[in-house]
């Protein structure tokens, strides 16, 4: 049985309104948790972790609903736990993650700009990710639906949700404005830890 994660903060307003946070966490994510628990009852997936379910179900078209709901739980758990109410300390320039970003993008600002444009350019519903391979090389990926780096054998570090439910109440059709505002609440200490 999977359960809804607790949020490590009370509010992320004004970047994400309390209403959006409440619906996104309490309704959307809760829905994926309820669906997955029903889908996996009595199946081979029942004893697996979310990561294991994503890795195993992704290969089989008949397990698509299991993959979609487990993927969405995993994605949202990583999403909600990577934020912190502003102000925060930012990315430590001496951290291995910062050094790798500067090596590949030249600067943190240049990385952010690339990440935002890939989020804006993702067609339809999905997630933009910063991911790492086993050598520590970074890449930005656009994944549709519930797909994520774990399903591709990569390590998930940071993600922005570009499903409309993540921003429509606050930003309507202005996805770019939402994505650029999210940097204010990224908890870089948590992202560095994942790396």
Q: Which is nearer to Mn ion, 12 or 166 (CB)?
A: 166
Whole-Å CA distances, 182 to 9, 30, 43, 126: 15, 22, 38, 16
The nearest distance, CB 162 to Mn ion, in angstroms, is 9
In the complex, residue closest to Mn ion by CB: 161
Q: Which is nearer to Mn ion, 72 or 98 (CB)?
A: 72
The nearest distance, CB 50 to Mn ion, in angstroms, is 15
Q: Are 50 and 2 in contact (CB under 8 A)?
A: yes
Q: Which is nearer to Mn ion, 5 or 102 (CB)?
A: 5
The nearest distance, CB 100 to Mn ion, in angstroms, is 27
Q: Which of residues 124-163 bind Mn ion (CB under 5 A)?
A: 161, 163
Q: Which is nearer to Mn ion, 62 or 123 (CB)?
A: 123
The nearest distance, CB 94 to Mn ion, in angstroms, is 33
Q: Which is nearer to Mn ion, 147 or 161 (CB)?
A: 161
The nearest distance, CB 172 to Mn ion, in angstroms, is 16
Q: Are 3 and 79 in contact (CB under 8 A)?
A: no
Rounded distance between C-alpha atoms, residue 34 and residue 40, angstroms: 10
- Which residues sit opposite 130 in a β-bridge? 140, 158
User: Residue 40: which of 75, 72, 2, 74 has the closest Cα?
Assistant: 2
Size of the site for Mn ion (CB under 5 A): 3
Complete DSSP assignment for 118-132 = HHHT--SSEEEEEEE
Sheet harboring 126-132: ordered strands across? 138-144, 126-132, 155-161
Q: Which of residues 164-193 bind Mn ion (CB under 5 A)?
A: 166
Assigned token pair, 127: 């997630």
Residues making contact with Mn ion (CB under 5 A): 161, 163, 166
């Amino acid at each position: 049985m999977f359960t809804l994660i607790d949020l490590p903060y009370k509010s992320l307003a004004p970047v994400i309104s309390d209403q959006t946070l409440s619906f996104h966490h309490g309704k959307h994510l809760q829905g994926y948790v309820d669906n997955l628990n029903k889908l996996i009852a009595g199946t081979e997936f029942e004893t697996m972790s979310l990561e294991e379910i994503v890795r195993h179900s992704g290969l089989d078209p008949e397990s698509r609903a299991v993959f979609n709901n487990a993927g969405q739980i995993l994605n949202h758990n990583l999403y909600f736990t990577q934020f912190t109410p502003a102000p925060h300390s930012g990315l430590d320039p001496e951290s291995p993650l910062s050094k790798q970003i500067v090596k590949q993008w030249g600067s943190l600002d240049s990385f952010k700009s690339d990440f935002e444009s890939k989020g804006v350019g993702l067609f339809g519903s999905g997630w933009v990710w910063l991911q790492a391979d086993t050598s520590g090389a970074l890449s930005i990926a656009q994944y549709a639906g519930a797909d994520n780096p774990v399903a591709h054998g990569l390590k998930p570090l940071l993600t922005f949700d570009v499903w409309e439910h993540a921003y429509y109440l606050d930003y309507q059709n202005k996805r770019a404005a939402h994505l650029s505002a999210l940097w204010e609440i990224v908890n870089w200490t948590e992202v560095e830890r994942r790396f």
